[in-house]
Structures are given as C-alpha cells and as structure tokens.
C-alpha cells in the first residue's frame, strides 16, 4: 500500500469508498506508525486495537469518513471501549459505562477509533507534559519544542502522519494552540455548537468546547456538520446555522472588513517573525479583495477576562480533583504542582467569586460583541505570540497556579489571543500559513462575530486555496 500520510481524511475516505484500500489496511498502517513514531513523540496512549478491529468486523457506519483511523483526546470524550487517564495519575485507567454524545456522533461518521492522545493534567496548559505519560509530548517539527496543549497529543499525531485527523477540545485555545504549533488547521466553533453531554451541561462556564485537529478545512467542515447540534437536556444552544459548514466552504465568502492586529490585543509587541506573518496574511487578504486596516478591541477589558478565566478554571479543576480524591489526602504522586496550586487558589476565593467571574466573562462577551457590531467582520491576529515553546518551559511542577496562567512569563503571555474567544463564545480558527526562520510552524488566527461560523470557515477555505499548506510536512524520522 502506498504511503497515504500526505492525504487528508476526506481523500483517505474516498480511497476506502472506491475499494482501493480497506479499513483494516488503514488501521494496520496507523498502528505501525504508532510503533515507529510514538517512542519519539509520546503522543498516542491507551491503544485499543481489539476494539478497533471489532468495530470494523461488525460493520462501520457509512458516514463521510468510513474506514479512516482516528484518535480521541485523553480528556473527556467518555467512551466505553476507550479507558482514559484524563491526563492525570489521579484518574489513571478510568473506565466508562456510557458513551459521550460527541463520541457517538464522531463514531457515526465511520471513523475507526483505536486509541487516545495525550493531554496535560486538567487540560490547563499550553504544553502537553503530564506525568502520567512518563514524559513530555514532543513536536514532530522539532523534538525540542512542544506540540502545544491541551490537545497536544492529537496535534503531534496528525502532524507526524499517524492519523489524518484527530479529536481535541478547546477551553482556552486547546485546539488552536496545537494547530499553530504543529502546522495544522484548528477551528473553535461558537459556544454550544457541539454537545457536552451527558457528563456535563457545559465546560468551564461554557468556555470549553470539542473540536478537531485536521490537515484541511474540508475535514473540519465535514466533522462539524456531523457533530453539531445540542444533545438531550443541553442548557442552551448555539444560534442556528444558515447552511452547513461544507456548503459554506463550497464558495468564497463576501468581501469582508478585516481588522489587523500585529500586537497583543492590549498593544504589547509579539515575536517579530510572528508579527510579520500576521501582516503578510493581511496583504494576502487585501490581494483577494478584502478590506484590511489596523484595529483591535481597545475597549474590551482583557485583564479582567483573563483573571476571570483563571478563577473559573481553578474552581473547575478543584472540583475535579476533589471528586477524584474520594477522601484521600492530596499528595504529590496523585496531582501535579499546577493542579495542586489551582485547588489551593480555588479554596482561597470567596464563595461568591465563581458567579462574579462568570458575570465578568459575560460582560466581556458583550464588549467583544459591540466591537464586532460596530467594526470589523473578522479580527486577524497571530495564534501565539511566538513560535512553539521549548519542552519544559510550561511544565506543571510549579504550584503557583496564578503566576503560571497570568504571570509575566505565563501561559497568557505566550497565548494572549485564543482564550479571548473562549470567553466571548465567538468562533475562531488557527491557520498554518507561516513558518519561522528555524522551521517551526506559525499559526494565523481569525475570529468572527458570535454565531458566524459559516462565514469564518468559508474565509479559512478561501485562504487555504490561495496559499495551500497541505504539502508542508515535518521531516520523517529521525526528527529534527
């Protein structure tokens, strides 16, 4: 069988549909890739080969990705056939008695799920280096650098060619950060576009949502169409789509007003190569007929939002840890430093602070809505303030959770754009449009008004056509 690692999932599925390759052959190839590549990357864990072969034998759903190998993130996405560590020694080898709605919808596309991908403990890091996996997850473009987080294992697995696409989730950039780090496409839909049940009604006060790490816009569009919509008992729903994501990318969007910000949203400088990539994308959009001018949401209270995000996530992390401990003492061998720090910070807060922080997030969302209502159709920034960080820079050994998140050298300084749109609920995407001088991917970030998912993904598809990225891949082992 020819090497299929350059193909996106849509192209691989077409080969299955035409009989040129079988699901079993594809699974064999994916498992061989895990054996060959994973020792260097540490991206794929808890492989369930028997469950995957059983799914093929019993007959795969005739969905758009029938027979394509697939991996799910080791955080949430509960599935009976796929035990989980949830990125933590505290939850190691958790087995589920039910399937989450997002898993059922992904399975209905015909994918052959065969394992999970690594995630940082609690999903609260921009790097994936959880102790439960015995070491960091590394970037296929350069093993000295992180693949991002919290869907870092998925990013590394797709970039390396182990699978054509993979599941992720995004509560503060956790799909878009690894997409930027690994040279992939990552799209965060409007709040509540995808289901959270039945385990929860919302993640992190509605800021977290599932997503996908893909090589192409069309793969994401198809998977979004397959998975969108509320599940039974959802506390709220996203605005209805006017058409499908797949239909939206079949034609260019209208000519749009684009605000270009080559600094942070509060005006601080970013890495010069990253800033140059933002400006180059602005020039590309102008050449395509879009109206581009400098701009940023200056009246949006970003520091307030960042502190509220930090407190909300601390409370969510503390709740999870307390449930996992089941009365046991909190010890270093069960929970890493950042998690212990998050628990301590949460317990130091006023009992009123959680609802106050949620209110601040809602207020921030209204500030962002007013900005887009009175200004641009699209906000163009970088995804990260610099190229992918070196392994170890965002390790979870510190117990100073607040400094880790919003300190001068913390996560928000490194990733000052992504969480903005988790808080506002707006759709946002990272596109692999640039490379650094030393060969590391640079993601370009686009965001649209709340509910305008179709227009955003159509613009992403137009950019992909204008500046294709599919042929750009990391060198095969030995990695750089």
Domains of the chain (ranges plus CATH)?
9-466 (3.90.1300.10)
Main-chain dihedrals φ then ψ at residue 181, nearest 5 degrees: -70, -30
Q: In this structure, are residues 389 and 127 in contact, taking their beta carbons and an 8 Å threshold?
A: yes
Across the beta sheet with 257-260, the strand order is 165-170, 209-214, 185-188, 428-435, 441-447, 378-382, 257-260, 291-294
Question: What SS3 state is found at 432?
Answer: strand
CA distances from residue 77 to 83, 95, 352 in whole angstroms, order as listed:
10, 12, 30
Q: Catalytic residue numbers?
A: 73, 150, 174
pTM of the model: 0.98
How many Cα atoms occupy the beta-carbon half-sphere of 165 within 13 Å? 33
Q: What is the DSSP letter of 394?
A: T
Tokens describing residue 421: 């749109």
Residue 2: what pLDDT? 66
Question: What SS3 state is found at 292?
Answer: strand
The one-digit pLDDT tens for each residue of the chain (480 residues) are 567 889 999 999 999 999 999 999 999 999 999 999 999 999 999 999 999 999 999 999 999 999 999 999 999 999 999 999 999 999 999 999 999 999 999 999 999 999 999 999 999 999 999 999 999 999 999 999 999 999 999 999 999 999 999 999 999 999 999 999 999 999 999 999 999 999 999 999 999 999 999 999 999 999 999 999 999 999 999 999 999 999 999 999 999 999 999 999 999 999 999 999 999 999 999 999 999 999 999 999 999 999 999 999 999 999 999 999 999 999 999 999 999 999 999 999 999 999 999 999 999 999 999 999 999 999 999 999 999 999 999 999 999 999 999 999 999 999 999 999 999 999 999 999 999 999 999 999 999 999 999 999 999 999 999 999 999 999 877 665
Contacts of 66 (CB under 8 A, 6+ apart): 13, 16, 17, 23, 60, 109, 110, 111
Contacts of 468 (CB under 8 A, 6+ apart): none
């Amino acid at each position: 069988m020819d090497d299929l690692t350059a193909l996106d999932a849509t192209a691989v599925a077409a080969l299955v549909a035409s009989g040129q390759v079988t699901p079993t052959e594809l699974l064999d190839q994916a498992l061989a890739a895990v054996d060959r590549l994973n020792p260097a990357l540490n991206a794929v864990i808890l492989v369930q080969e028997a469950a995957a072969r059983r799914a093929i034998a019993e007959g795969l759903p005739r969905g758009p990705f029938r027979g394509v190998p697939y991996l799910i993130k080791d955080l949430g996405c509960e599935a009976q056939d796929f035990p989980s560590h949830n990125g933590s020694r505290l939850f190691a080898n958790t087995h589920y008695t039910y399937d989450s709605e997002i898993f059922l919808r992904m399975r209905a596309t015909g994918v052959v799920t065969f394992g999970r991908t690594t995630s940082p403990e609690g999903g609260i890091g921009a790097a994936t280096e959880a102790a439960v996996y015995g070491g960091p997850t590394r970037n296929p473009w350069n093993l000295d650098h992180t693949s991002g987080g919290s869907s870092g294992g998925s990013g590394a697995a797709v970039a390396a060619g182990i699978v054509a696409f993979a599941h992720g989730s995004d509560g503060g950039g956790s799909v878009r950060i690894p997409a930027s780090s690994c040279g992939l496409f990552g799209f965060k839909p409007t709040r509540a576009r995808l289901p959270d049940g039945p385990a929860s009604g919302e993640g992190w006060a509605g800021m977290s949502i599932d997503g996908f790490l893909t090589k192409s816009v069309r793969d994401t569009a198809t998977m979004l169409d397959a998975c969108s919509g509320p599940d039974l008992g959802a506390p709220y729903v996203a605005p209805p789509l006017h058409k499908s994501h797949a239909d939206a990318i079949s034609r260019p969007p209208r000519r749009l007003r684009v605000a270009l910000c080559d600094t942070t949203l509060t005006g601080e400088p970013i890495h010069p190569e990253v800033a140059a990539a933002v400006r180059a994308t602005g020039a590309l959009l102008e050449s395509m007929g879009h109206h581009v001018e400098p701009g940023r949401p200056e009246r949006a209270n970003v520091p307030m939002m960042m502190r509220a995000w930090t407190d909300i996530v601390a409370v969510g992390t503390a709740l999870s840890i307390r449930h996992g401990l089941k009365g046991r003492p909190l010890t270093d061998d069960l929970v890493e430093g950042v998690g212990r720090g998050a628990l301590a910070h949460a317990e130091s807060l006023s009992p009123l602070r959680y609802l106050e922080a949620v209110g601040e997030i809602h207020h921030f969302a209204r500030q962002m809505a007013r900005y887009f209502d009175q200004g641009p159709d699209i906000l163009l920034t970088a995804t990260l303030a610099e190229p992918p960080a070196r392994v170890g820079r965002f390790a979870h050994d510190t117990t100073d959770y607040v400094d880790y998140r919003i300190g001068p050298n913390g996560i928000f300084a490194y990733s000052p754009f992504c969480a903005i749109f988790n808080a506002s609920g707006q759709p946002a995407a990272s596109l692999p449009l640039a490379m650094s001088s030393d060969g590391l991917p640079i993601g370009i970030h686009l965001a649209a008004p709340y509910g305008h998912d179709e227009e955003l993904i159509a613009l992403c598809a137009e950019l992909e056509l204008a500046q294709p990225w599919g042929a750009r891949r990391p060198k095969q082992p030995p990695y750089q």
